[in-house]
């Protein structure tokens, strides 16, 4: 008499291949931000419906206003003017802030001399100097660039000081024992170890530059996103105000992304963005 084997056959489990895992990561990377944007637009539309167009412009109204401003060139002129001012002031802040931070971090005499000024001035907001900047530098581009430089330089300097102070003392002693002078130590040892702090300071300074540009342009500018926001107030165009605010956010997001891509080659210095 024969017997029948009724035991269940083992089921083969197929693990997802590297291609499927990669597709899943890409879908999540794209899908989650897209979902966040959709939720934000929904909440925005609900607020606009509740408060009315006199207080909150709807996404559709804002889009229509943005198209109109883009077609007549106002939006592009504003973006161009604000971008040039931000990049100029921010770059000057880096050019001055990085060397100053390195010197203050490693040379005690320089730090003792400059620290009172740094600690005093960095707590005064740039908007407090708007009137003086206009009086001293006029209504042109210089006054706005100076205000953005003022915003950026202290952030970059303080972050650079933190990195310079945190430099490994063993590396400093090794360089000195090999006969390196103070400049060579700054260039070959301190600067590479400080680069992650410099990058962090640069990103923070970029964000603060966007905060400053609005106040500078509101007071003394014919073109720029801050001037656009101020003009919309005078004409009672709440939709223009939303266009200016959203454009500032998108422009800042774009600048930060570009900066993050630009510093990727510095990964060998332990820069993570």
**CATH number of the domain that 91 lies in?**
1.10.3720.10
Q: Give the pLDDT score at 248.
A: 92
Range of the domain at 202: 75-269
pLDDT at 237: 87
Pick the residue with more confidence: 217 or 76? 76
Task: Tell which residue, 145, 92, 87, has the closest CA to residue 262.
Answer: 87
Residue 153 has pLDDT above 90, yes or no: yes
pLDDT at 181: 77
Arithmetic mean of pLDDT, 130-156 = 88
Per-residue pLDDT tens over the stretch 33-66: 888 889 988 998 898 888 888 888 888 988 999 9
Residue 110: CB atoms within 10 A of its CB come to: 14
- Domains identified in the chain, total number: 1
Rounded alpha-carbon distances, angstroms, from residue 224 to 82, 144, 218, 240: 5, 11, 9, 13
196 within some domain? yes
Average pLDDT of span 67-82: 90
Rounded average pLDDT over 102-130:
88
Q: What is the mean pLDDT of residues 178-187?
A: 77
Query: Is residue 217 in a domain?
Result: yes
| Residue 7, domain member (yes or no) | no
**Greatest mean pLDDT among 15-24, 51-60, 152-161, 182-191:** 152-161
Give yes or no for residue 14 having a pLDDT over 60: no
Per-residue confidence (pLDDT) for residue 226, from 0 to 100? 85
| Separation of alpha carbons 161 and 222, rounded Å | 38
Let me know if residue 178 belongs to a domain: yes
pTM of this structure: 0.81
Q: Which token pair is 167?
A: 């430099």
According to the model, what pLDDT value does residue 15 have?
Answer: 54
Domain presence at residue 8 = no
């Amino acid at each position: 008499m024969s017997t029948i084997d009724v035991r269940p056959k083992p089921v083969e489990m197929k693990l997802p291949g590297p291609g499927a895992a990669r597709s899943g990561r890409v879908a999540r990377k794209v899908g989650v931000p897209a979902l966040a944007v959709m939720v934000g637009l929904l909440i925005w539309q609900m607020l606009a419906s509740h408060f009315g167009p006199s207080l909150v412009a709807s996404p559709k109204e804002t889009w229509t206003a943005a198209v109109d401003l883009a077609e007549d060139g106002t939006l592009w002129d504003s973006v161009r003017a604000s971008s040039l001012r931000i990049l100029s002031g921010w770059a000057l802040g880096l050019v001055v802030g990085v060397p100053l931070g390195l010197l203050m971090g490693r040379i005690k005499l320089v730090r003792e001399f400059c620290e009172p000024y740094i600690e005093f001035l960095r707590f005064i907001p740039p908007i407090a100097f708007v009137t003086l900047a206009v009086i001293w530098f006029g209504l042109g581009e210089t006054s706005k660039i100076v205000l953005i430089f003022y915003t950026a330089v202290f952030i970059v300097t303080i972050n650079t000081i933190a990195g310079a102070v945190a430099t490994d003392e063993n590396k400093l002693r090794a360089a000195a024992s090999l006969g390196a002078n103070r400049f060579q130590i700054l260039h070959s040892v301190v600067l590479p170890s400080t680069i992650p702090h410099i990058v962090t300071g640069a990103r923070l300074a970029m964000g603060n530059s966007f905060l400053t540009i609005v106040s500078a342009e509101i007071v003394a500018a014919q073109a720029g996103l801050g001037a656009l926001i101020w003009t919309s107030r005078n004409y009672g165009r709440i939709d223009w105000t939303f266009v200016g605010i959203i454009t500032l956010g998108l422009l800042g997001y774009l600048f930060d992304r570009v900066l993050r891509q630009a510093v990727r080659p510095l990964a060998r210095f332990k820069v993570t963005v």
